[in-house]
Amino acid sequence: QVQLQESGPGLVKPSQTLSLTCTVSGYSITNSNYAWGWIRQPPGKGLEWMGVIAYDGTYYSPSLKSRTSISRDTSANQFSLQLSSVTPEDTAVYYCARVPRIAVATTTPNAYDYWGQGTQVTVSS
């Protein structure tokens, strides 16, 4: 059974870098059939696709690309998100999720089949 679990600080100060890790169990992130992404949901708003990492590269939302980095640690079966220069507008529930490699270019959250439970991140001084 595939399981994903987000971890990281729940509170980040403005201008700092938000760092989250997703630990995957039940499936290897090195399998080329799937990619691994980050999606967030600000309060009162819809889901926003942030980016995804596949075995052959990373893809980012154009609106967040300049501040976003996604990497992976294959030895730990984890992948991570870094979002720099955060503002209160980055306050959201952050989710990690899995998507079939053939759908890696989609920004539609519905394409993702397994999700973590989500973690609340608040940006505030």
Q: What is the pLDDT along the chain (125 residues), one digit of tens a residue?
A: 999 999 999 999 999 999 999 999 999 999 999 999 999 999 999 999 999 999 989 999 999 999 999 999 999 999 999 999 999 999 999 999 999 998 888 888 899 999 999 999 999 99
pLDDT at 105: 84
| 3-class state of residue 45 by DSSP | coil
Place of tokens 């608040």: 122
DSSP 84: -
Q: How far apart are CA 87 and CA 13, in angstroms?
A: 8
Amino acid of residue 69: S
pLDDT at 107: 86
pLDDT at 91: 98
Amino acid of residue 118: G
Contact 81, 19 (CB under 8 A): yes
